[in-house]
Structure formats: C-alpha cells, structure tokens
C-alpha cells in the first residue's frame, strides 16, 4: 500500500484484555508484543505498515505503526483514528518541531526531531545549516521515508538530506545499516558547526551517529564555565566537544583522548578552525589505558571530563555498565587537582540517574578521593523528554568538586 493511507484502508490490531490501555491513552507511545493480540492477521502485517489500534472493548485508540518482528510491536503515531499519515501530516509534525528550535537557537545547528518526544517515533533528524541528517530507526519511518523527506525539505528548505542508517535501534527493528544521499549532494569535507564559542568539525558521511553530538551542548557550556585558566583533560572526546568549548572559554590547555584517530583528526581541525590549536593536544588509545597511564605519569588537571559511550545500552548490560562507569570514576579521580572538578557523563538509558550517581561516587571513593556534587546536567532543550517514556531522558552529566 503506497502513502497516503486512509484509515479505512488500514487493518485493525487489538490490545489484550489485560493490557493497560490507559497508559497509551495518556501518552505512552509503545505497545509491547505481549500486550497485543497476536492472531494470524496481525502476524501477517508487514513491518512498518500502519494499523488502527483498538482497546480490548474494540474502541479505536489511534493510528499505529506495526512491526510484528519487534518487541515494540506498535508505535502510536496519531491518537486520532481518522488521521491520514501523508506528507501534510509529516509537515505538521516538522513545523511544530522547527518552531521550538528556532526559539532556542539563532543558527540552524541543532537536533530538529527527537523521536517520540517530537511525535515521530524512532525518527532522529539533526540539522547542520543547509544539511539535514535523518536516522529512520523504526520500520515505519523507513517505509515512509519519501513523504518524510519531502516534508522535511518543504518545511525547512534544506538543500541536502542524508540518511545515516546504523545503530542498535535499527537492528532491533530488523533493518539493515547504510548511508544514502536522499536530496542534493553530500559534502565532500567535514562541515563546520559553531557551538559554545568554538568551531566543531562534523563528518556527516562517515562519522558516528549523525556526525556530532548536540545533546551535550549545555553540559559543554557548564564545564567551560569552570575552565577559565584551567588545564583540561577530555576523555572519550570524540571531536573535542568539551575540550574545544573549554579552550574557547579561556582554559590554558586541553588534552583530548579518544580511541578513534579520525575523531581526533576532526578535533584538531576544529581547534585550528577555532584559533585554539596552540593550546590543544590529542592522545589516541583505549581510554582506560590512557587514564591509567596518565595516573602512572603523575599527570594532574584542574578539570577532567569523561564522556564515554553507552556502557549499559540495555537492562541486561546494566550491572556490567555500572561497573564500567565506576571504573572510569576510579581512574579519573586521581588526575584531578585538589579543589578541581570531575565531570562524568552517561548516555545509557538503562542506567538511571540514581544508579549512575551511585556508581560514580563509589569510583571516586575507591580512588581515595572525596567529592561534592555541584551540578547535574541533561540533554539540551532540542532533545525534549517525553515524560511517559524514560528512554527519551537518557543523558546524565554529573559535576563533582574533589
């Protein structure tokens, strides 16, 4: 069936009698596989196809995207059963998202769509000036990519749209990975992104995720406020997120550590573009090994930042992930000067704030240091949180004074 879809064309799926219909009615956007009647007709629905969701009493609840192969078997798209999911529908969602970002930022560099919180489940769109990078992380978004992209161009006027299809979410949806130019021509070099007084280089065709992590912007800024006159260590630095902001705010020096040489190359290019190269240095290698080596060398810094990848991407990985966060804190704390600051971050939604905070405090204590928590940060306002879905509030940043 090709879009647009009329509700009269759509199959019907139904909640199990014991399923909690109120949660969906009150804004929870997902239906799990054990909550839906899995009859032969439902199982025959193609991944990403649309359907009308009914409660156990056969009362229509809205239009959902269905994927019988996923644990999240249905995602609520519109609570009106009469909604038509076409380009105009996408334009409405995108216009609402754009209006919010344009109030926040003077320049078009931000996360434009943050999945469920912006009413587009599984869809991530980051904007880099005239370029938008789309991650369709759910089967329905892959299936309806054409009207989504047409609406994106119509609403924002961007001249280039790239698809960066990779990551754990797509695997769970049964989707493959890949990169594709959907509109215009891909940039031949890294793209300059102004943020927090520095210039960052984003590789939009071969870098991580969409090319740059906008979510840390306010935490970069807070840490930079502590960095005036400071020696800074930025571990798991990617393209220099914390270190370049710190240098722009007046840090005397910054050392960026990452296991990816391409990322460090982009960090050095960003430092040069920002006029900060003389105070900036990089060190490649496994972050844990480098932290241990710096400790053995007797190195010390006024501000140490550790922003690792998700050590606990799922509940099954939680305990191992918490031990890894504790180890980061234990290795990093000895490198902080008396009265200095340690910034520890987690992007693991499975590790909530309380668990991450406890693991970090244990690590600091096991290092023989004592600290007070002076700030707790989260993702920026271009990454809104859907209150009913804890996963949208994944990012935590803790600032300790040791």
Q: List the CATH number of the domain containing 21.
A: 2.30.130.10
**Is 306 a known active-site residue?**
no
Distance, in Å, from the CA atom of 103 to the CA atom of 132, rounded to the nearest integer, reads 19
Q: What is the mean pLDDT of residues 257-278?
A: 96
Contact 50, 85 (CB under 8 A): yes
Read off the pLDDT of residues 310-360 as tens digits, 9 standing for 90 and up.
998 888 999 999 999 999 999 999 999 999 999 999 999 889 999 999 999
Domain count, the chain: 3
Q: Is residue 204 part of a domain?
A: yes
Q: Is residue 228 part of a domain?
A: yes
Q: Is residue 288 located within the same domain as residue 160?
A: no
CATH code (residue 256):
3.40.50.150
Q: Is residue 39 located within the same domain as residue 177?
A: no
Looking at residue 5, its pLDDT comes to 53
Q: Which residues contact 293 (CB under 8 A, 6 or more apart)?
A: none
Q: Is residue 263 located within the same domain as residue 282?
A: yes
Distance, in Å, from the CA atom of 311 to the CA atom of 315, rounded to the nearest integer, reads 11
Read off the pLDDT of residues 14-59 as tens digits, 9 standing for 90 and up.
999 988 778 899 999 999 999 999 999 999 999 999 999 999 999 9
Q: Is residue 332 located within the same domain as residue 387?
A: yes
Q: Is residue 161 located within the same domain as residue 289?
A: no
Q: Is residue 140 located within the same domain as residue 159?
A: yes
Q: Is residue 60 located within the same domain as residue 96?
A: no
Q: Is residue 306 part of a domain?
A: yes
Domain that holds residue 364: 192-401
| Final residue before a domain boundary, out of 183, 218, 243 | 183
Looking at residue 167, its pLDDT comes to 72
Token pair 């490198």 is found at 335
Is the predicted pLDDT of residue 176 greater than 90, yes or no? no
Q: Is residue 233 located within the same domain as residue 358?
A: yes
Q: Is residue 248 located within the same domain as residue 127?
A: no
Looking at residue 1, its pLDDT comes to 46
CATH code (residue 167):
3.30.750.80
DSSP 136-189: E-SHHHHHTHHHHHHHHHHHH--SEEEEEE-SHHHHHTTPPPEEEEEES---SS
Tell me how far apart the terminal alpha carbons of the chain are, to the nearest angstrom: 60
Contact 180, 165 (CB under 8 A): yes
Distance, in Å, from the CA atom of 272 to the CA atom of 249, rounded to the nearest integer, reads 16
Q: Provide the token pair at 319.
A: 């305990």
Q: Is residue 1 part of a domain?
A: no
Q: Is residue 148 located within the same domain as residue 294?
A: no
Is the predicted pLDDT of residue 211 greater than 90, yes or no? no
Q: Is residue 259 located within the same domain as residue 386?
A: yes
Q: Is residue 2 part of a domain?
A: no
| Final residue before a domain boundary, out of 183, 217, 235 | 183
| Final residue before a domain boundary, out of 47, 78, 109 | 78
Q: Is residue 146 located within the same domain as residue 219?
A: no
Q: Is the pTM of this model over 0.75?
A: yes
Which of 160, 306, 345, 347 is catalytic? The answer is: 347
């Amino acid at each position: 069936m090709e879009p647009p879809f009329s509700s009269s064309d759509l199959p019907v799926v139904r909640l199990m009698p014991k399923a909690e219909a109120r949660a969906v009615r009150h804004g929870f956007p997902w239906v799990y596989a054990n909550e839906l009647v899995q009859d032969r007709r439902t199982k025959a629905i193609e991944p990403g196809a649309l359907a009308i969701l009914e409660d156990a009493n056969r009362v229509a609840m809205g239009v959902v995207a269905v994927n019988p192969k996923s644990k999240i078997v249905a995602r609520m798209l519109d609570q009106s059963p009469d909604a038509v999911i076409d380009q105009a529908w996408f334009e409405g969602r995108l216009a609402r998202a754009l209006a919010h970002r344009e109030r926040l930022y003077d320049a078009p560099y931000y996360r434009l769509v943050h999945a469920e919180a912006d009413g587009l489940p599984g869809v991530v769109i980051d904007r880099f000036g005239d370029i938008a990078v789309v991650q369709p992380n759910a089967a329905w978004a892959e299936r309806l990519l054409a009207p989504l992209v047409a609406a994106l161009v119509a609403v924002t006027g961007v001249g280039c749209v790239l698809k960066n299809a990779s990551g754990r979410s797509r695997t769970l949806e049964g989707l493959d990975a890949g990169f594709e130019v959907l509109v215009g021509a891909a940039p031949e070099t890294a793209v300059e992104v102004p943020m927090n007084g520095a210039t960052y280089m984003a590789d939009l065709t071969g870098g991580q995720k969409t090319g740059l992590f906008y979510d840390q912007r306010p935490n970069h800024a807070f840490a930079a406020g502590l960095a005036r006159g400071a020696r800074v260590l930025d571990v798991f630095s990617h393209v220099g997120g914390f270190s370049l902001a710190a240098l722009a705010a007046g840090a005397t020096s910054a050392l960026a550590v990452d296991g990816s040489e391409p990322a460090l190359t982009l960090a050095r290019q960003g430092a040069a573009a920002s006029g900060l190269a003389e105070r900036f240095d990089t060190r490649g290698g496994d972050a844990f090994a480098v932290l241990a080596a710096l400790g053995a060398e007797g190195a010390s810094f006024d501000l140490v930042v550790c922003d690792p990848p998700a050590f606990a991407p799922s509940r099954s990985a939680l305990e191992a992930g918490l031990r890894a966060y504790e180890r980061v804190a234990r290795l990093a704390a000895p490198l902080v000067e008396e009265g200095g600051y340690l910034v520890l971050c987690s992007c693991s939604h499975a590790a909530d704030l309380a668990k991450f905070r406890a693991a970090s405090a244990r690590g600091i204590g096991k290092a023989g240091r004592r600290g007070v928590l002076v700030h707790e940060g989260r993702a920026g306002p271009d990454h809104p949180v859907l209150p009913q879905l804890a996963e949208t509030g994944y990012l935590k940043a803790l600032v300790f004074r040791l």
